[in-house]
Amino acid sequence: MPTWSALTTLPGKAPAEALAEAMEAMDPAPEGVGVFEIEDGSGLWEVGAYFTAPPDGVALAILEAAFGAQPFAVSELPEIDWVAKVRRDLSPIVAGRFFLYGSHDADKVPAGAISLLIEAAMAFGTGHHGTTKGCLLALDRLADAGVRAQNVADIGCGTAVLAMAAAKLWGLPVLASDIDAVAVDVAKANVLANDLAGRVTCVEAAGFDHPALAAAAPFDLVFANILMGPLLDLAPAMAAHLAPGGRAILSGLLTEQADRVITAYAAEGLRLEDRGDIDVWSTLVLRKAA
């Protein structure tokens, strides 16, 4: 079945959300509408909708004018078996001692690697993005330096790949949380697929706001691979939930955003210990004073 997308941008979260709500009333109605902040410091938000019939161009023009949005870019999308495409395009990833793969590449796992099975159908957080790979490489460098964490959390876990990497690396239980219920379900499925049931526990939570995380704190290592805005908001809670001498591995950042995050966390008592850049993305290792 052919589908169409309609995408626009406009300044401000509230107008973007209002536009998205107005689009729900279109005829034909969209199958789904999304609102996303563009993480480039511009203050712009993207509103996108997907249709199974061509969207009404006049209605879109009226919405543009009413909400001060840029002209909609409307495209007909090709019919693609996306899972099959991802399987073809996503080759295994090596990040230090970690090897991420789909089941179609199970025969390629090298001896001695810490392997993590992430299926193509669950493709947010497969390790192909520079932020996930950057976090795995930061974890690998910590292990090479002799660091052995005892109490680990993965905040905004997505597929739980980082939580599983720490659990396999050190053979310890890890808590993983995500604000998105679908992500939590995906994470739980990945935990089972990697034989980590009972070692990685996945909960739905915003940040550290869950009884299991409160009970397990303080942590000596916390992953947070999210976005700059949520990372800035998380800084006080991160400092409160880290043990003295504990580390946070942060990513989801553009390289030009890193200094702002470093400054915000320094104000909470966390100092930069390591930084790795992959393409336009930065990964930070910050440490709380002992």
- Quote the pTM value: 0.72
Give the pLDDT confidence of 115-139 residue by residue, as tens digits. 999 875 444 444 456 789 999 999 9
Residues 213 and 142 in one domain: yes
Contacts of 111 (CB under 8 A, 6+ apart): none
H-state helical runs in the chain: 13-23, 57-67, 82-89, 130-144, 161-170, 181-193, 211-216, 228-241, 258-266
Lowest mean pLDDT across 12-26, 37-51, 53-67, 221-235? 37-51
pLDDT over 60 (residue 83):
no
Q: For residues 49 and 195, what is the distance between their CA atoms, to the nearest angstrom? A: 38
Residues 37 and 147 in one domain: no
Residues 70 and 212 in one domain: no
Amino acid at 145: A
Predicted pLDDT at 126: 47
Residues 154 and 46 in one domain: no
Q: Are 222 and 153 in contact (CB under 8 A)?
A: yes
Residues 170 and 64 in one domain: no
Residues 132 and 53 in one domain: no
Predicted pLDDT at 129: 63
pLDDT over 90 (residue 8):
yes
Could you tell me which residue, 182 or 261, shows the higher pLDDT? 261
Predicted pLDDT at 105: 76
Among residues 239, 178, 162, which one has the least CA distance to residue 210? 178
The CATH number that applies at residue 251 is: 3.40.50.150
Could you tell me which residue, 34 or 237, shows the higher pLDDT? 237
Structural domain that includes position 203: 128-288
The CATH number that applies at residue 18 is: 3.30.70.260
Tell me what percent of the residues of the chain surpass a pLDDT of 70: 92
Residues 7 and 137 in one domain: no
Residues 185 and 264 in one domain: yes
pLDDT over 90 (residue 39):
no
Give the pLDDT confidence of 220-245 residue by residue, as tens digits. 999 999 989 899 999 999 999 999 99
Amino acid at 251: S
pLDDT over 60 (residue 82):
no
Q: Are 158 and 182 in contact (CB under 8 A)?
A: no
- The pairing of strands 32-37 and 44-51 is antiparallel
Q: How many domains does the chain have?
A: 2
